[in-house]
Amino acid sequence: RAAERIEFVGSFSNWTSMPASRLPEIALFGRSNVGKSSALNCLAGRSRTKVARVSKTPGCTTAINLYRAGNVCTVCDLPGYGFAKRGKELQEEWGRAISDYVAEREQLRVMVAFVDPRHGPKDNDANFFAWLRDFKIKDARLITVATKVDALKPNEVEGRLLELQAAYGLREMPLPFSSVTGAGRSQLWRAIEGAAD
Ligand code: GDP
C-alpha cells in the first residue's frame, strides 16, 4: 500500500523551487506543535524510522518539506504558524510563502488542517480558517483533523470537536485522530483519497 512507502523528497523555502509532478498533492497545515509531523509518521505507518522529524523546539521548522507516497500522491508539509517568538516578520514571510504556494501549486488537491482539541478554540487557528475562506481555493478540498484525541476523555471528544467546528465555522466536524493510538488513521487516508480523486 502506498501509505507504507512515504519517502522524503526534499526541503524548500518556496513553491518555485519545488519539483513539479503529475501526482495530486496533499498539503498539511497547522500551528506549530499541533502534531503534524507525528501525524505524517503515523499515516506513513512508521514508528522507528521516521519520515518526518518530530521537533522538540516549537516553531523551529520553517521549510516546506515535500514527501512522496509511491505513485499515489505527494505530501507537502508546510511550516507551522502562530508562534509569537518567531516574530512578526517571520509571520509575514510565512503568510507570503503559503499564499503563493496555495495560489500557484497546480497539483494541490487536498488541504489537511490540523487542530489541537485539548485547549478550546485558538485565535491563530481562527485566523487561519478565516484566511482560507477569503482565499480563492480552486480544486483543493479541506479536511480538518483534530490531533491528540488520546489526551481527552472519550466522553468529551465529541463536545470538543463540535466546539471547534462552531468556533472556526467549519462545514464538517474535525476528524478525530491520534498518532499515539492510531485512531482515525484509516479514516484520514480514506478522506484524503476521496478528496484527491
Ligand atoms: P508539529 O510541530 O505540528 O509537527 O508537532 P509534532 O508532531 O512535532 O508534535 C508536537 C508534540 O506533540 C510532540 O511532543 C509530540 O510527541 C506530541 N504529539 C503529537 N501527536 C500526538 C498525539 O496524537 N497524542 C499525544 N498525546 N501527543 C502527541
Give pLDDT tens digits for 59-111.
Answer: 455 688 999 988 888 999 998 876 544 556 666 777 788 888 988 898 999 99
Q: Is 94 left (phi over 0), alpha (psi -120 to 50) or beta?
A: alpha
Output the nine-digit C-alpha cell for 154: 472519550
Is any ligand 1 atom within 6 A of the Cβ of residue 74? no
pLDDT band at residue 1 using 50, 70 and 90 as cut-offs:
very low
Q: Can you give the residue ranges of every domain in the chain?
A: 2-196
Report CA(136)–ligand 1 centroid distance (Å): 30
Residue bearing the CA closest to ligand 1, atom 15: 35
**Grid coordinates standing for 43?**
499515516
C-alpha cell read off for 76: 507537502
User: For the segment 157-188, what is each residue's pLDDT rounded down to a tens digit?
Assistant: 999 999 999 999 998 999 999 999 999 999 99
Q: How far apart are CA 42 and CA 159, in angstroms?
A: 25
Ligand 1 pocket test, candidate residues 28, 54, 122, 180, most atoms within 8 A of CB: 54
Q: Tell me, using a 6 A CB cutoff, whether residue 113 lines ligand 1.
A: no
Contacts of 87 (CB under 8 A, 6+ apart): none
**Which CATH code of 3.30.420.10, 3.40.50.300, 3.40.605.10, 3.90.1150.10 fits the domain covering 2-196?**
3.40.50.300
End-to-end CA gap in the chain:
17
Ligand 1: distance of its center to the CA of 62 in Å? Answer: 17
What's the pTM value of the predicted model, to 2 decimals?
A: 0.89
How many whole angstroms from 182 Cα to the centroid of ligand 1? Answer: 13
- One-letter identity of residue 84: A
